[in-house]
Amino acid sequence: MSKPGSETSKISRRKFLGTGITVAGMSVAPGVSLINVAEARPLDQPVSSKQRWGILVDANKCSKGCTSCVDACFTENGLNRGDEQHSRPGQKAQWIRKIDLRDKSTGHEVSLPLFCQHCEHPPCTDVCPTGASFKRKDGLVLVDKHICIGCRYCMMACPYKARSFIHEELTHQFEYAPRGKGTVEGCTLCVHRVDQGRNPACVDACNAAGHKAMYFGDLKDSNSEVSKQLKMHSSKAIRADLELNPGIRYRGI
Amino acid sequence: MKYLRMMLVLLTVVLLGNTIVLADVPKPVIPKGNAEECVLPKEEMRVDHMNYILHQRDETMHRGIRTKKFSLKGCIDCHTVKDDAGKIVSYKDKKHFCNSCHTYAAVNIDCFECHASTPTAKGTISSTGGKK
């Protein structure tokens, strides 16, 4: 991680004024445009850019071999229910993966979950020819499957390999997680839960497993646990060089 | 000339045949929903339901508005049809509420390639986590 000072000098004016939390958390005094929004939004109110949902993953606490978050994601969103009979393992839908990293020189190993990073500047939405890939005002990057034509440009554009294409007819989808053949899908940060003021399933599962390696919350609310944690210790964005400003940040990598 | 006459005879047969078939198609039997009345008068819903659902679809997807009135989930929860064994039928069954009309009108809908066409059983939702 570069020093805070050197990072500050690199940022553009637009980023500084915008939601560049990468830098804002470190060098700018907190308290700028920090509006507290009630946790569960009324059903008839649209999402607003006063919030930005994000997760801090503490890789130091993430246990190698533990797949609680992956399993929870499968169960919650109805993935891997035996529908994809003809797809190879690599083709089957998976929204969250466990990655093990090893530093060759020191032998230090770290394990972390990798999923849609909910970028501020998502490349998937840039390349989408129909507007199906979009970023919701509260920062969630989603696929509108009603207008997705299944071209898979977004899968190629995503540097995190976060999206899956559904090759086969699906049955028994959950009512809150519609999924179907011929469309691309990825982590929604459990949008149906977030809209109820709840944590994504992976975060709850990680807590239930006792690791407590994931903090979910509003990155724009300085009082949220995730903001406090981000302020307290240094964290990294994966592939920060791409300047996508992901909403998912990592500690201990 | 002979050819033309044959065509005419053929055409008459086809047309006649069609009328007979049409007369045989029964009017759809539309199953009643579980509630006293629909979210709007049924005459209005029969004509405009697709527009309400389409509008709600975009509002929910892009703006996160999750009002219940015109949600597809609301339709599915209320308009359940059971088969002879007492099990709620899916869209694959001809008895399904949406099918009852759409088969008659020959309008194919794509909703249920992705969306659940039966209510999700209670207790299966969010089994992984509790309240925040």
Domain range for B64 is 34-107
Give the number of domains in chain B.
1
Confidence of residue B5 (pLDDT cuts 50, 70, 90): confident
Q: Do B64 and A39 touch (CB under 8 A)?
A: no
pLDDT for res A28: 42
Q: Which residue has 């646990």 as its token pair? A: A225
Q: Note whether residue B27 is domain-resident.
A: no
> Rg of chain B's alpha carbons, rounded to an integer?
21
Confidence of residue B25 (pLDDT cuts 50, 70, 90): confident
A&B contacts, CB < 8 Å: 87
Q: Note whether residue B38 is domain-resident.
A: yes
Residues A142 and A191: beta-carbon distance below 8 Å: yes
Residue type, A208: A
B47 touches chain A (CB under 8 A): no
Does the structure show a pLDDT above 90 at A30?
A: no
Q: Do A205 and B73 touch (CB under 8 A)?
A: no
A121 touches chain B (CB under 8 A): no
pLDDT for res B59: 96
Q: Note whether residue B53 is domain-resident.
A: yes
Q: Note whether residue B21 is domain-resident.
A: no
ipTM score of complex:
0.78
Q: Do B130 and A204 touch (CB under 8 A)?
A: yes
Closest B-chain CA to A69: B128
Q: Note whether residue B83 is domain-resident.
A: yes
Q: Note whether residue B20 is domain-resident.
A: no
Helix ranges (DSSP H) in chain A: 4-10, 13-17, 21-27, 68-77, 123-127, 153-157, 191-194, 201-208, 225-232
Mean pLDDT computed over A139-150:
97
Q: Note whether residue B6 is domain-resident.
A: no
Q: How far apart are CA B94 and CA B97, in angstroms?
A: 8
Q: List chain B residues with CB under 8 Å of A45.
A: 65
Name A98's bridge partners: A113
Q: Which residue has 């130091």 as its token pair? A: A60
Domains of chain A: 1-30 (no CATH), 61-205 (3.30.70.20)
pLDDT for res A41: 85
Q: Do A175 and B73 touch (CB under 8 A)?
A: yes
- Percent of chain B predicted with pLDDT > 70: 74
Q: What is the residue-averaged pLDDT of chain A?
A: 88
Does the structure show a pLDDT above 80 at A80?
A: yes
Model confidence over A181-226: pLDDT tens digits?
Answer: 999 999 999 999 999 999 999 999 999 999 999 999 999 999 999 9
Instruction: Take residue B33 and report the two structure tokens written for it.
Output: 């929903």
Instruction: Take residue A114 and report the two structure tokens written for it.
Output: 């990798």
B62 touches chain A (CB under 8 A): yes
Mean pLDDT computed over A151-156:
98
Q: What is the residue-averaged pLDDT of chain B?
A: 83
Model confidence over B96-116: pLDDT tens digits?
Answer: 999 999 999 999 999 999 999
- Percent of chain A predicted with pLDDT > 90: 79
Residues A142 and A163: beta-carbon distance below 8 Å: no
Question: How many Cβ atoms sit within 10 Å of the Cβ of residue A236?
Answer: 15
pLDDT for res B10: 62
d(CA A28, nearest CA chain B) in Å: 30
Mean pLDDT computed over B22-41:
86
Does the structure show a pLDDT above 70 at B32?
A: yes
B124 touches chain A (CB under 8 A): yes
Sheet holding A214-218, edge to edge: A214-218, A53-58, A248-251
Q: Note whether residue B114 is domain-resident.
A: no
Please classify residue A13 by burial: count the beta carbons closer than 10 Å to its beta carbon, then call 0-12 exposed, 13-18 middle and 19+ buried.
exposed
pTM metric for this prediction: 0.79
